[in-house]
Amino acid sequence: MSRLGSTVGMLVKTVLPALAGLIGLGLIIAWLSGAFIEKVQPGRVEQQPEKLEGQSTEQVHEVLKDYIEEAVGTLKAANRTEVSSKVLATIQEVTVAAGDLVKEGDPLIRLDNSELEARVQQAEQSLSAARAAAAKAKVDFERLEKLVARNATSKSEFDAAEVALNVAIANEMRAEQSVQEARVVRSYAMITSPRSGRVVDRLAEPGDTARPGQPLLVIYDAASLRLEAPVSEHLAVRMKVGDRLTVHVDAVNRTTKAVVDQIVPQADAPSRSFLVKATVPRADDLFEGMFGRLLIPAGQRTHLCLAQSAVHEVGQLQFVQVVRDDNTLERRMIRTGQVGMPGRVEVLSGLSVGERVIVHEEDAESTPADSDAQTSPNDDSGNGSGTRSVDESAGASSSDSQSRENGSPSAAGVPQ
């Protein structure tokens, strides 16, 4: 009996602490999981829609306007020259640097002419020898000519003297031409500017070896700059040489007229575009390689117009408050396009004609709802009066960035 009691006592001592620990651990886990915290009962809470309470509203309406497509390109010089040497020689001096203006005939690079000078002297000495030989042959011929007249020598000796004279004269002429050639080659030691323009790249330094055909300097005529841009084929087929278009250079914020002087008569298959080259007027702040936009009239279209202050931006998202038929408000996401007249913006998606939206009070007073309602192509609300519309000068719009991401040569103005 005592043995059984001791066994039970040992079990109680070992099992009860373990059991108490498990119970405590279970309670801690339950507390951490929120078992003892009051929870919100499941269900749906209806949110009361906001109602129209005296805010200014405006109807979404259509506007007919001329629209412009942009073809992005690069300014390049039509007259671009790579200056190189005609002889193999060491460069002794480069007289210009990148950015310098030069005139036709100005010295640019001086080469080592010691070897070329030696060739000139060698050719001159050969000429002296040829002249002496020709003079001796002439004397021999004249002497034999007199002897033949007196029948004092044979005809064959006279013929040989005549041939020797002709050979000597030919050698003298060849030596003279060799001297001229050597002098011309010697003149190649001074490289001069082939045209007036600006040095845009210096590719050689004193001590370098100039090789025939290797570019040493690059010169372009600043008056021959033109914008080269790939234009979508549906626009290029309607263009012709001589058309006057508008070019905008973003870096200097310059907008100028350009004349189409070349349309490459071959389409690029991957991009479905033609390369169009338009000459721009000379300007001191325009340089080769700058980014530019060719603005091309592309017809007319209708678009939805809205007060710009009605649009609320949250990050990159755009929202408006739309008034329903029961005067309740709905927050709706939209997508806008180009900016029209001051305070107006184009709506690409999210709204329909006739819907009412909330606008700020100051916008409703400054730009009434019917200010864009004209459907005339010349209406300023669409800014379609020629190529100087706001749509053109507004720079890159949302549709511009989207079309460039898609690899299209024509950026803005594509109907959405």
pLDDT reported for residue 146: 83
Angle between helices 114-149 and 155-187 in degrees, nearest 10: 160
Are 171 and 208 a contacting pair, CB within 8 Å? no
pLDDT reported for residue 384: 34
DSSP states of 291-317 as a string? EEEEEEEEEEEEEEEEEGGG-EEETTE
199, 230, 203, 232: which is closest to 216 by C-alpha? Answer: 203
Residue 157, SS3 per DSSP: helix
Rounded-to-integer distance, Cα 33 and Cα 26, Å: 11
275, 280, 250: which is closest to 264 by C-alpha? Answer: 275
Per-residue confidence in pLDDT tens, the chain, 416 aa: 566 667 767 766 777 778 888 888 888 888 887 777 777 667 676 777 788 888 888 888 888 887 788 899 999 988 888 999 999 999 999 999 998 999 999 999 999 999 999 999 999 999 999 999 999 999 988 888 888 788 877 888 888 988 999 999 999 999 999 999 999 999 999 999 998 888 989 999 999 999 998 999 999 887 888 999 999 998 999 899 999 999 999 999 999 999 999 999 999 999 999 999 999 998 888 888 899 999 998 888 888 888 888 898 898 899 998 998 888 888 999 998 877 667 888 888 999 998 989 997 654 444 443 434 333 333 333 333 333 333 433 333 333 333 333 333 333 343 33
Element (H, E) at 69: strand 61-77
pLDDT reported for residue 306: 87
Residue 12, SS3 per DSSP: helix
pLDDT reported for residue 187: 93
pLDDT reported for residue 362: 54
Phi, psi of 239 (to 5 degrees): -95, 160
Phi, psi of 91 (to 5 degrees): -80, 125
Q: How many CA atoms lie within 13 A of 208 on its CB side?
A: 17
* Cα 169-173-174 angle, rounded to 5 deg: 115
Long-range contacts (CB closer than 8 Å, 24 or more residues apart) made by 412-415: 412/68, 412/69, 412/70, 412/338, 413/67, 413/68, 413/69, 413/70, 413/298, 414/69, 415/301
Rounded-to-integer distance, Cα 341 and Cα 349, Å: 19
First to last CA, the chain: 98
Domains and CATH numbers, the chain: 63-76+222-405 (2.40.30.170), 81-218 (2.40.50.100)
Are 288 and 277 a contacting pair, CB within 8 Å? no
Are 349 and 311 a contacting pair, CB within 8 Å? no
Rounded-to-integer distance, Cα 288 and Cα 49, Å: 59
Across 18-57, b (16+ Cβ under 10 Å) vs e yields: eeeeeeeeeeeeeeeeeeeeeeeeeeeeeeeeeeeeeebb
